[in-house]
Amino acid sequence: MKKTFAYIHQLFNRMNQIKYLIRYFLYLPTTFLYAQTDAYEVNYHFPENKSDSLVFQAQIAYGNTFLNATKNPNPLKIYGKYHSTNTTTDFIAKTNRVNFVVLEKSGFALKKLAESSLPNIWHLYVNDKTVYRLLFHLGSGESFFNLSEISIKHLAIKSGNNKIRINYLAGKPNPISMDSLVIRMEFGEIEIMRLNYARAKEVNAELGVGKLLLDFSKDNLHPSVINVKAGAGSLIVRLPETQENILLKIKNTSLSKIELPKNFKENTTGIYVNKPLENNSVPMITFNIDVTVGKVIFENK
């Protein structure tokens, strides 16, 4: 019976992944199919002094955003389609830093776009040679980030009401250690698949009433500290059942809901481990979770 439930759970997760892949590939050709739209394209290259690092900051009020790596020698290429005369774009490039801003001139225009079947679409292309610090401020829409083999030193995402899926392909982690991954979300959803592939030393997340899913694979695990303030949001963490040395520190109220697998035992009040730490060994992953009226669920894969 236990194996049957585990199989059903794995099947459900796989179906969910397939759903996102289908939606991703359905969106890919839209930049070529939509007619009577305004096109936007820019290719950024480093100045003469050359560099191997870039800070890229993108503020996109509304639209579907895609991020992928290419073999293009230029560190950044942006291609977009927008479907409203109220859409404004601003591209500012300085040495080692690029700011890209997409705004709507009025709230009415934003509401009209949200109801439209033709969303703004932005394709962001980076390469696999440059070291990046990426900062995103995303409003409404959907975002798909494939971070496989992109050298990212710092990643920050602020979401208004965006549905964001971040993925690493199997066997293609971040080539370098990431100093920090920062998430701020008010509404919407963020899913990070194979989070351990990011090789983030520290993850800091703050949730309003949104949903955050953190998925870990059993390979390429690296020591990490994950701090989450859930508020009224939902946090779901999927861990390999065979992974040991996981430490959970949970601060919660009676209004919150906590669900943990049976292999996690409470050591001290609010502190759980899935295996007793021996000889003062350091946990592979440490979670510091503060939840008020939200929900925290840990699941074994």
> Is residue 136 included in any domain, yes or no?
yes
SS3 116: coil
* Run of H or E including 108: helix 107-115
> Is residue 162 included in any domain, yes or no?
no
pLDDT band, residue 206 (cuts 50/70/90): very high
Mean pLDDT, range 56-84, rounded to an integer: 87
Query: Which residue range(s) make up the domain with 230?
Result: 175-301
**How is residue 171 annotated by DSSP?**
T
pLDDT band, residue 245 (cuts 50/70/90): confident
* Number of domains into which the chain is organized: 2
Q: 36-50, 54-68, 141-155: lowest mean pLDDT where?
A: 36-50
Mean pLDDT, range 127-135, rounded to an integer: 94
75 plus 200 within the same structural domain: no
Q: Choose among 59, 91, 27: nearest CA to 160.
A: 59
Q: What is the mean pLDDT of the chain?
A: 82
Check residue 5 and give its pLDDT: 45
pTM of this structure: 0.83
Check residue 301 and give its pLDDT: 79
> Is residue 283 included in any domain, yes or no?
yes
Check residue 238 and give its pLDDT: 95
SS3 218: coil
> Is residue 163 included in any domain, yes or no?
no
Q: Choose among 292, 142, 144, 300: nearest CA to 206.
A: 292
SS3 10: helix
| Amino acid occupying residue 82 | Y
Sole residue written with tokens 């007793």:
276
- CA Rg value for the chain: 20
Query: pLDDT by residue (tens digit) across 152-196?
Result: 999 999 998 899 999 999 999 999 999 999 999 988 999 999 999
% of the chain surpassing 70 pLDDT = 77
Query: pLDDT by residue (tens digit) across 106-122?
Result: 444 444 444 444 568 89
> Is residue 169 included in any domain, yes or no?
no
E strand intervals along 63-216: 64-70, 76-82, 87-94, 97-104, 121-127, 131-146, 151-167, 180-185, 189-193, 202-207, 211-215
128 burial (CB, 10 Å; 0-12 / 13-18 / 19+) is middle
Check residue 267 and give its pLDDT: 83
106 plus 183 within the same structural domain: no
Residue 216, phi then psi, degrees to nearest 5: -120, 140
118 plus 226 within the same structural domain: no
> Is residue 168 included in any domain, yes or no?
no
24 plus 140 within the same structural domain: yes
